[in-house]
Structure 1
Amino acid sequence: MISNKIKSYAKINLALNVIGKLFSLHKIETIVSFVNLHDLIRIKKTYGTKHQISFNGTFSKNIKKDNTVKKLFDILDEKKLLNNQKFEVKIKKNIPQKAGLGGGSMNAANILSFLIKKKFIKLDQKQIKKISNLIGSDVILGITPISTIMSSKNVVKRFFKCPKFYTLLVRPNFGCSTKKIYSGVKNFTKSKFDNPKKTMFGFKFLIDQENALEKIAFLKYPKLKKIKLFLENIKNPLFVRMTGSGSVIVAYYRSKRDCELAKVQFRRKFKNYWCNTSKTI
């Protein structure tokens, strides 16, 4: 059977607030976009007795056996939704791990969307949300990878034709543990995104927002603060903000030229750090 190719785009949090805690999980609201950096997934039906999941590429090392893609297929098998159909999945990892870019979650989201689109499984919106949440809280964001706002009530609203930014994504030579970052949350923010609007994707709104996890990440990893301060002072970015729980810091630009020049300057200063120029999609 011919392999199908899926581009699994990296997620970025343009803004993020922690607005409370429910049992062991924190409640967040977030404004999300996607950039044209992506993992490449090849998937095809196989006639074997088990699903075959493998990873290759720059960021394929140390991926756990109990990864998001395996969790997805385990759930689908447990619920007997695949009717004993098995799949071979090969994923080229171009998105760094523990970066705040949602690489693994977006892989699971895109595969779930593919299986629904190709009618291997049939799910309604309620079932999609339930399965997504069983894998990870941000999986639902990648089901349709466009500009998205998730409110404090866990309602997801998507928007078309939002403003685009050129982005410089920078990651030091370490990742951030999501669990470790969230464990440092002591204060909660009043909800700001419960009335989602397209204007929230504009520069004038976003510049006054924040990622509430930044302060915690900067205390635990001072190098991240150093990176942000450096990025704020090269080629006049619109704003600079950490995505997710880190460790990637994103500088946002109107101009592709300024974004590319900023990348050159950054590499001169931080030679061993990963960086990527992209654009929101």
Structure 2
Amino acid sequence: MKAKSYAKVNLFLKIEGYKDGFHQINSRFLKVKNLYDEIEIKEADKFNIIGDFDCVLRDNTIFRAYLKLITEYPDIRDYFIGKEIRVTKNIPSGAGLGGGSSNAATFLKMVNSDSGLNLSLDELAKIGAEIGSDVPFFIYDFDIANVYGRGEIIEEFEEEKIDVEVYTPPIECLTADVYRMYRERYYNPTKSNFDKIPTLELLNNYKPEELNDLLRPALALYPELFKYKDGFFSGSGSSFFKLKQKDEK
């Protein structure tokens, strides 16, 4: 069983407050269909998770999703006996593209279908939200959606199709550090109406710093980003993106 695990970009990201230990966001996520990891679940001698990960196994989002499943649904343990989860990584880490969250969501959906667990998307999203704030977006699999709260509130946003080109500098931005810098030096939560505005209007009329509250703290933490600063900033970085022209393939 194989599936693609897509990247995302934040078309805008505004921070509207801080509650229960989490920043409250108003953002719009776009699925990037030409950038994805690949996940395969196949029979093997023993349970294993294999991939070129940048963390120890206990911190891996797929492993954490596995632990959540066997804890909340003990009967599913039998499904994992003799299963190998192999991940081919293409989405860079520390890039603001949601690779780890996408992997967890894709894994949850694959297991849900293949094992006969048959949880609803809402139930899967609730599990996913405990693994990572971006996981629910990938569970619902919208092409584009407004995202609120800590990331658990997802509303599909219908508009004309847009495509982006993504560029990731050779710099890894640590999400927790960027948010901490935001709180310490740039904290100014305000309500935004960007979620009501079509994406093309936003990208054509606002500066990158206006669209993403994390750009300035990321630049302060990682000044080497300045030489790559071209286009709009995704998440906590380090990736930038531009609109792809319609005549580009």
- Normalised by the length of structure 1, the TM-score is 0.76
Aligned-pair identity in percent equals 31
Structure 1 segments (4+ residues) deviating >3 Å: 45-48, 159-162
**Superposition map of 1:80-229 within 5 A:** 80=74, 82-86=76-80, 87-118=83-114, 120-143=116-139, 144-152=141-149, 154-159=152-157, 162-167=160-165, 169-185=166-182, 186-192=187-193, 200-201=198-199, 203-207=200-204, 208=206, 210-228=211-229
Q: Secondary structure at the match of 1:82?
A: helix
Paired amino acid for 2:154: V
Q: Secondary structure at the match of 1:247?
A: coil
Instruction: Give 1:17's aligned residue.
Output: 14
Q: Secondary structure at the match of 2:236?
A: coil
**Superposition map of 1:14-93 within 5 A:** 14-35=11-32, 36-44=34-42, 48=46, 51-55=47-51, 60-66=52-58, 67-79=60-72, 80=74, 82-86=76-80, 87-93=83-89
CA RMSD of aligned residues (A): 2.3
Q: Secondary structure at the match of 1:54?
A: strand
C-alpha separation between the residues in 1 aligned to 2:75 and 2:122? 15
C-alpha separation between the residues in 2 aligned to 1:20 and 1:71? 28
Query: 2:126–2:136: 8 Å Cα contact kept in structure 1?
Result: no
Q: CA deviation at 1:63?
A: 2.9
Query: 1:9–1:145: 8 Å Cα contact kept in structure 2?
Result: no
Paired amino acid for 1:205: L
The CA deviation string for residues 248-281 of structure 1, in whole angstroms up to 9 with x for no partner, is 1112232454xxxxxxxxxxxxxxxxxxxxx8xx
Instruction: Give 1:254's aligned residue.
Output: 245
C-alpha separation between the residues in 2 aligned to 1:45 and 1:146? 31
Q: Secondary structure at the match of 1:137?
A: coil
Q: CA deviation at 1:16?
A: 0.5
Q: Which blocks of at least 5 consecutive residues in structure 2 are unaligned? A: none
Q: CA deviation at 1:245?
A: 0.5
Q: 1:28 to 1:53 in 2, by over 3 A?
A: same
- Normalised by the length of structure 2, the TM-score is 0.85
Query: 1:43–1:88: 8 Å Cα contact kept in structure 2?
Result: yes
The CA deviation string for residues 68-96 of structure 1, in whole angstroms up to 9 with x for no partner, is 00000000001126252103110000110
The CA deviation string for residues 39-93 of structure 1, in whole angstroms up to 9 with x for no partner, is 0111135574xx31000xxxx2533212000000000001126252103110000
C-alpha separation between the residues in 1 aligned to 2:247 and 2:116? 40
Q: Secondary structure at the match of 1:149?
A: strand
Q: Secondary structure at the match of 2:76?
A: coil
- Give 1 or 2: higher helix fraction: 2
Query: 1:16–1:212: 8 Å Cα contact kept in structure 2?
Result: yes
C-alpha separation between the residues in 2 aligned to 1:174 and 1:254? 26
C-alpha separation between the residues in 2 aligned to 1:160 and 1:119? 33
Q: 1:5 to 1:62 in 2, by over 3 A?
A: same
Size of the alignment, in residue pairs? Answer: 234
Q: 1:166 to 1:138 in 2, by over 3 A?
A: closer
Paired amino acid for 1:41: I
Q: CA deviation at 1:160?
A: 5.4
C-alpha separation between the residues in 2 aligned to 1:129 and 1:119? 17
Q: Secondary structure at the match of 2:57?
A: coil
